[in-house]
Amino acid sequence: MVEQVLASRHQVKSFESAGGARIFQMPLEAFPSFWVHSYLVIVDDYRVLIDTGSNFPQSNEGLEKHLESISAEIGESLGLADLTHIFVTHGHIDHFGGLAYVKPLTDAKVGIHELDRRNLTNYEERLVVVAQRLTEFLLESGASPERVEELKEMYMFSKALFNSVEVDFTYEAEGMQIGPFDFLHVPGHCAGMVCIKLHDILFSADHVLAGISPHQAPERLTLNTGLGHYLESLQACRAWASDVGLILGGHRRPIENLGKRIDEIVAEHQQRLEKVIEMLSEPQTIAQVAQELFGETEGYNDLLAIEEAGAHVEYLYQRGYLGISNLDEYRQTDLPVPILYQCLDAEIDFDKLINLRE
Ligand SMILES: [Zn+2]
Ligand SMILES: [Zn+2]
């Protein structure tokens, strides 16, 4: 019984837009027990794949299997060779990694936003650059050198999953519109993140998700990420709230009310910021903040927790609410030392700090 429920959770679901587009949501196992949605969209002469999975063997097999079952259902052959376009929503491996598998099998034109283009075209270089920044950030966060090595290795594990590929077009250069698809640049979770609107349906990628606030990392790791950009992008996305009736994310279940979901996510970040301010009445490192916020974490979640805490500390520090209490130690060396942050002003008006709710 349980197996049946699990099996059906990972089956293709179909939707139809008000303008008659047919949309198929294809769950792919990007990493063991970690699922991502890829979408097949049939509208006018367009046969579009939105995101590709991770290039993990189960992910590629799932994609082929789903396309076969969709072809059988609609009575039209729709394999990878029949695609006209591939839209990548953002430069995270669970969304674009599958391009390494898909690209040799199709002539479909591949698009990505300008700010994530190099994630695909200069993949190996970017991993090295980000790993260096990550090491510095983690050491300053107060993680032990051994833990930093472990976390860095974890970050680098996806190295083998992908080789750089060429892309055919970028969204800004196309005027943020391709046929009936409208694109909105929503930097934050990722620098080149886009949401895609088709008639009354919004593909929200990892910008807006059901049941979880999308992961944030500090901007010091990659420009145009970070909590400040993310909250601004949530606000920008509200412009479409009255146009869309169904929001299909990169993970998790569909959402019906965009404005309401944005309010919930903003509130979650506000609460987290309030907690961080409270904790930092005493000087603490980011690793300590992470542990208080998220408890004991393991494996990749450990890295995610420190990044998430780092994004919130950075947001407050950027705005002058936090100071560094061990500045003398920091001054004495060029090497990264754990930074102790402390709140400078406990009387923060959060409605002014995050003035984004409607
Ligand atoms: Zn993502
Ligand atoms: Zn994702």
CA of 92 to the centre of ligand 2 (A): 7
Please give the pLDDT value at position 107: 98
CA atoms within 13 A on the CB side of 288: 14
Q: CA neighbours within 13 Å on the CB side: how many for 101?
A: 22
Q: Are residues 61 and 95 in the same domain?
A: yes
Q: For the segment 104-113, what is each residue's pLDDT rounded down to a tens digit?
A: 999 999 999 9
Distance from residue 37's CA to the centre of ligand 2 (Å): 8
CATH number at residue 322: 1.10.10.10
Looking at the structure, do residues 224 and 248 belong to the same domain, yes or no? yes
The predicted pLDDT at position 49 comes to 98
How far apart CA 316 and CA 231 sit, in angstroms, is 13
- Helix, strand or coil, per DSSP, at residue 127: helix
* Ligand (nearest to CA of 215): 1
Residue 130, domain member (yes or no): no
Ranges of residues in the chain with a pLDDT under 70 are 1-8, 346, 354-358
pLDDT confidence of residue 5: 46
Q: Which pLDDT does position 355 carry in this prediction?
A: 57
Which of these, 10, 11, 66, lies nearest to 33 by C-alpha position?
Answer: 10
Provide the pLDDT for residue 293: 97
- What tokens were used for 199? 């008639």
- The answer to whether residue 134 sits within a structural domain is no
Q: How far is the CA of 90 from the centre of ligand 2 (A)?
A: 9
Q: Which ligand is nearest to the CA of 34?
A: 2
The CA-based diameter of the chain, rounded to the nearest angstrom, is 71
pLDDT digits (tens, 9 = 90+) for 285-344: 999 999 999 999 888 899 999 999 999 999 999 999 999 999 999 899 888 999 999 999
Q: What is the pLDDT of residue 161?
A: 80
- How many angstroms is it from 335 CA to the middle of ligand 1? 31
Q: How far apart are CA 46 and CA 49, in angstroms?
A: 10
Kindly give the distance from the C-alpha atom of residue 36 to the centroid of ligand 2, in angstroms, as a whole number: 6
Cα separation, 55 vs 203, in Å, equals 21
Number of domains in the chain: 2
Same domain, yes or no: 200 and 324: no
Q: What is the pLDDT of residue 223?
A: 96
Q: Residue 290 and residue 309: Cα distance in Å, rounded?
A: 5
CA distance 251 to 204: 10
Q: Name residue, tokens 């700090």.
A: 353
In a domain, 176, yes or no: yes
Residue 307's H or E segment, with its range, is helix 299-318
Query: What's residue 4's pLDDT?
Result: 44
Shortest-distance ligand to the CA of residue 36: 2
Q: Could you tell me the distance, in angstroms and rounded to a whole number, from the CA of residue 87 to the centre of ligand 2?
A: 14
Domain of residue 18, residue span:
2-122+164-268
* The predicted structure's pLDDT at residue 3: 42
